[in-house]
Amino acid sequence: MRKTTALRAAAAATAALLTATACSSQRGQDAQDTAAGGACKGQQTTGITDKTIKLGGIYPLSGPASAYGTISKGVAAYFKYVNGKGGIDGRKVQFIVRDDGYQPPKAVEEARRLVEQEKVFAVFQTLGTPSTAAVWDYLNKQKVPQPFVATGASAWGTDDKHPWTVGWQPNYVAEARVYAKFLKDERHKAKVAVLYQNDDFGKDLLGGFKKAVAGSGIKVVAEESYEVTDPSVSAQMASLARSKANVLLDVTTPKFGSQALAADAKNTKWNPLHIVNNVSSSAAVLQPVGFKNVQGVVSATYFKDPADPHWADDPEMKTYTDALHKYAPDADPANQFNAYGWAVASSLHKALDTMKCPTREGLRDAVRNLKDVKVGMLLPGVTMSTGHDDAFPLETMQLMRFKGERWQLFGKPVDTRKEFGPLTK
Amino acid sequence: MSTITAALGTDRARRLRAVLTVLFAGAVAVGAPFYFAPFQVFQLTMVLLYAVALAGLNLLVGFGGQISLGHGAFFAAGAYAAAVMLDRYDTGHLATLPVAAAGCFLLGLGFGVPALRLRGLYLALVTLSFAVFLPPLLKRLEPVTGGSMGLTVDKLQPPAWSGLAEDQWMYFVVLAVTAVALLLARNLLRSRVGRALLAVRDNESAAEVMGVRLSLHKTLAFAWSAMFAGVAGCLYTWVIGFVSPDSFSFVLSITLLAGLVVGGLGSLYGPLLGAAFVMYVPSVSQDLSEAAPGVVFGLLIIAVMFVAPTGLAGLPGRVLGAVARRLPRTAAALDRTPEAESAPDAEPKSRTESGTSATLDPADPAVVDAEPVGAPPRTEKE
């Protein structure tokens, strides 16, 4: 008994000592964060040197949203490809990926690890609305850039308290505006039924759509919501069918997108124009429904679909496919998420190129001062623009219609900023 | 007479050692935030916070012998109670703690009712339903809970006089609450309630014959346990400053239960070890394998359960026991072998041992330190 306690105390003491000595990073070291000289005097140069730049990303590699985790592979492949060509402005990119399992507390922990232990230059990117919302206060307090978050919520761009955070993909309101414009042009007396997911994503899109069609002849005659945890949306679809609307706006995530499309195809008495949102527009959603059942379905997009043979000869697409084969052999180049990762990483490359100072402040200002920046992976006509009070780089999307076995782009890219004015809270 | 004085002597020595251990642990705990980087202090804070929830779960599962898969929901209830108070009514941080605790106590009391009629897996299913149904409910109650976007609230800010950084202040506040909570759990187990709980776990009929009111104590176990989870949830809101329904999926409940079993069921410091396991092992396993952190995590759990079926808290005892069996049987080995040989029946033996020092109290600190007080409830019924 006595020896047990003594032994345990000794063991505990040794363990404590070992931990203490093993921990290289201790308190007070963060005061050594370097500051730049010259014109960029006093700005933070943590994580960036003349030869390297360190970026950290937090992705759900495990857990319910792990399908999105593959975005990190596209991003990593891009940075490896760029490093092979000499790096970004001579700086080799070190890209650290951490897993948050789509859990906000884990995201906070990993963000702190990246900032305090890994001393990254910027947190690029955080994925998902909950994780991003959980860490943006911390990152902004620490003055760490959080560029191009992988979520389409409109909160990132309309908020003025978080200058270090900026979105990237077209936000859900912008997407809703694209559909609203399409209906105004082609079906100005449309009666619209809406199926939407009951969360920020669904509500953002629905709210944006209602605002965009306000004052026109278009009316939302029925709306039904579902929960991510629901088994099916057939009840909602049946009730929407009773509304006799002639347009169905389908704001769903992939699983429910398939269900809604199938339910629409099955109901031969009700044949509305089916608009499916971008999130559910991938071939993986349409295929199980049967391509013959989804003819004429409308959606919108902004980057090149790697599965679309239309882009097979596109130089950027070729670079992407080759690089992915070389640097991420286990990743499928036809997967949209990999292409997304590639597109967002090359967007960051462009932003880093425009930095006036190679500092955190420099990046913060650069991502808010983009003027019609072209990115190879984005559709022709879709460019990145931001301003001092506009933190939405992409607000242009192009409509597409499903014909035969693939999506076909139609019309011109719709710049929602020009059409509807800047987005405010 | 001489045996009594000898017993008193060892008892006093044991007390001294216990005090010294506590002092040492206290010094380490207080010194840590001045030594480690803010990020590591944050991790320690999270370990302490999970330890509170695990201590609550331990009351129910380890000492009460009932299974709950719904503790993530009580945790969420505490977190949301604090977040809503901070967000909507702008109360101070400290005011949220008693409300979260009391609210979850009542909630647990309500959920203790099915515990009277159900047992084992059936009870586990009922509690699981609570954990599954709470997140969608939180999403629907958007005016109050902020829906699926969640609520962002102010974190705990250090007062100017303290001169501490935010993470240090948070650590100390959580440390204080955790210390009180763990002390409360310990004292609860030494009280009438705790003894009644143990009796009910070991043999319901016998306990009833002895005059333990089953209904009262089973519901109370749930209530106390839920209260601890609620307090942990409240601390979570203080530390993270953000709650959303997706933070509290039923996976959290299962993680808590797994952490407790790995840490050591029915042991007083098992929750601390379990909390550390839950907190650190996922990141370690990610360092080992970027592709499949989940697989490594799972394998580690299996490895721990294989090496230490009584949890990490029971590991030192098992190791010493194994060593003692190998060594030639010296007097010292003889002294130790019986108590450490097999954990499930270790409790009664250590009781008889401490019986010489005129106490039958199962929660005597030194005895508790040596072996888990309880054991997995199932194994004892064989």
Written in H, E and C, the secondary structure of B229-291 is: HHHHHHHHHHHHCEECHHHHCHHHHHHHHHHHHHHCCCCCCHHHHHHHHHHHHHHHHHHHCCC
pLDDT for position B381: 38
Q: What is the pLDDT of residue B358?
A: 37
Interface size between A and B, measured as CB pairs under 8 A: 145
Q: Which residues pair with A59 in a beta bridge?
A: A99
Residue B247 and residue A130: Cβ atoms within 8 Å? yes
Write the CA distances from B130 to B2, B74, B242, integer angstroms: 58, 9, 22
Q: How far is CA A8 from CA A38, A59, B14, B292, in A?
A: 56, 40, 14, 35
What pLDDT is attached to residue A122? Answer: 95
A10 and chain B in contact, CB less than 8 A: no
With a CB cutoff of 8 Å and minimum separation 6, the contacts of A121 are A46, A47, A48, A53, A54, A55, A145, A360, A363
- Nearest Cα of chain A lies from the Cα of B198 at a distance, in angstroms, of 24
Q: Which of residues 282-341 of A touch B (CB under 8 A)?
A: none
Contact between chains at A27 and B34 (C-beta distance less than 8 A): yes
Q: Using CA coordinates, name the residue in chain A closest to B244.
A: A130
Burial track B341-370 (b if 16+ CB lie within 10 A, e otherwise): bebbebbeebbeebeebeeeebbbbbbbbb
> Cβ contacts (< 8 Å) between B241 and chain A: which residues?
137
Q: Which two tokens stand for residue A346?
A: 């090359």
List the single residue in B14, B140, B316 with the smallest CB-CB distance to A8: B316
* Average pLDDT value for chain B: 79
Q: pLDDT tens digit string along B62-75? A: 888 888 888 999 99
If DSSP codes are grouped into helix, strand and coil, which group holds residue B142? helix
* Contacting residues for A401 by C-beta, under 8 A, at least 6 apart: A296, A297, A298, A407, A408, A410
pLDDT band at A383 (very low <50, low <70, confident <90, very high): very high
Report whether B248 contacts B79 (CB < 8 A).
yes
pLDDT (0 to 100) of residue A14? 54
List the domain boundaries for chain B: 37-275
For B268-282, how does the pLDDT look when each residue is reduced to its tens digit (9 = 90+)? 888 999 999 988 888
In tens, the pLDDT along A272-299 reads: 999 999 988 887 788 889 999 999 999 9
Residues of A in contact with B292 (CB under 8 A): 62
- In the block, tokens 């299913």 appear at B125
Distance from CA of B207 to the nearest CA of A (A): 31
Q: Span A372-376, mean pLDDT? A: 91
Beta-carbon contacts of B240 under 8 Å, excluding residues fewer than 6 positions away, are: A104, A105, A108, A134, B155
Q: What are phi and psi of A218, to 5 degrees?
A: -85, 135
**Domains of chain A by start residue, with CATH:** 43-170+303-394 (3.40.50.2300), 172-301 (3.40.50.2300)
DSSP 8-state code for residue A268 = T
Tell me which chain B residue has its CA closest to the CA of residue A73. B291
* Residue B189 C-alpha, separation from nearest chain A C-alpha, in angstroms: 22
Question: Which residues lie closer than 8 Å to A357 by C-beta, 6 or more apart?
Answer: A36, A39, A40, A43
The answer to whether residue A108 neighbours chain B at the CB level (below 8 Å) is yes
Instruction: Tell me which residue of B344, B66, B64, B376 sits closest to B199, measured CA to CA.
Output: B64
pLDDT at B376: 44
Residues B222-248: tens digit of each pLDDT: 899 999 999 999 999 999 888 888 888
Residue B340's pLDDT is: 40
| Residue B34: CA count within 13 A, CB half-sphere | 7
- Residue B371 to chain A, least CA–CA distance (Å): 10
State pLDDT tens for residues B84-128: 999 888 888 888 999 999 999 999 988 888 777 877 788 888 888
Residues comprising chain A, all counted: 425
* Residue A240 scores a pLDDT above 90: yes
CB A111 within 8 A of CB A149: no
Least CB–CB distance from A116: residue in B39, B46, B240 = B39
Contact residues, chain A, for B24 at CB < 8 Å: 9, 12-13
State how beta strands B151-152 and A414-415 pair: unpaired
- Scanning A155-194 for CB atoms below 8 A from B yields 155
Query: Which among A16, A30, A97 is the nearest to B290, CB-wise?
Result: A97
DSSP string computed for A151-217: ---THHHH-SS-TTB---SPPHHHHHHHHHHHHHHH-TT-EEEEEEESSHHHHHHHHHHHHHHTTSS
Nearest to A311 by CA among A351, A342, A279, A347: A342
User: Quick one: pLDDT band at residue A28, thresholds 50, 70, 90?
Assistant: low
Per-residue pLDDT band for B351 (boundaries 50, 70, 90) equals very low
